[in-house]
Amino acid sequence: MQLRPEQILNDHQLRRTAVRLAVLRIFLEADEALSQSYLEQQFEQVDRITLYRTLRTFEQKGVIHRALDGTDTPKYALCAGECNEHAHHDHHAHFHCDDCGRTYCLEEMVAPRFHAPRGFRVDEAHMVLTGVCKECLEGVSP
């Protein structure tokens, strides 16, 4: 996992701009999957279209991946490092807390191999877990 925003942009051949660096910093601090609207709120002022395109570019280039969490709001999280322009490797599970609404990447939890049912060919498998996260269970968060 790359640690510095500048490094990440270099690795993916992306120009070093203010918005991109800021977005990466937010992701690096967050350690969870974030929605575009959440990101927007982290800025004093930012153009939502720029943010939209930043996320789209990041996803295409393999910097972030979409975290499937069962809600209607797409969320994104930093890729672990093996992702690039050509392929994503985000086959870990995602956990959505019904209490605080946060979505976590469970890097350690990889989807098991499934045999293709009904004559289908399975290319990818994703898992979505829902429940209550540790912090909410402990009553730390509302």
Partner DNA sequence: AATTTCATGCAACGTTGTTGCATTTGTGTT
Partner DNA sequence: AACACAAATGCAACAACGTTGCATGAAATT
Rounded to whole angstroms, how far apart are CA atoms 128 and 12?
28
Nearest approach in angstroms of CB 76 to DNA is: 10
User: Segment 47-86, which members bind a second copy (CB under 8 A)?
Assistant: 68, 70, 72, 74
Q: How far is CA 46 from CA 20, 21, 86, in A?
A: 11, 13, 29
Q: CB of 85 within 8 A of CB of 61?
A: yes
Sign of the torsion formed by the C-alpha atoms of 64, 125, 119 and 87: positive
Q: Can you name the residues that pair with 67 across neighbouring β-strands?
A: 75
Nearest approach in angstroms of CB 49 to a second copy is: 18
Half-sphere exposure of 46 (CA within 13 A, CB side): 21
Residues 6+ apart with CB under 8 A from 108: 92
**Could you say which of a second copy, DNA, none residue 100 binds, taking C-beta under 5 to 8 angstroms by partner kind?**
none
Nearer to a second copy, 46 or 74 (CB): 74
The verdict on 139 binding a second copy (CB under 8 A) reads no
**Could you say which of DNA, a second copy, none residue 7 binds, taking C-beta under 5 to 8 angstroms by partner kind?**
none
Query: What does the binding site for DNA look like in residue numbers (CB under 7 A)?
Result: 9, 14-20, 36-37, 46-50, 52-54, 56-57, 72-74
Query: What does the binding site for a second copy look like in residue numbers (CB under 8 A)?
Result: 68, 70, 72, 74, 93, 95, 97-98, 104, 106, 108-109, 111-112, 114, 116-134, 137
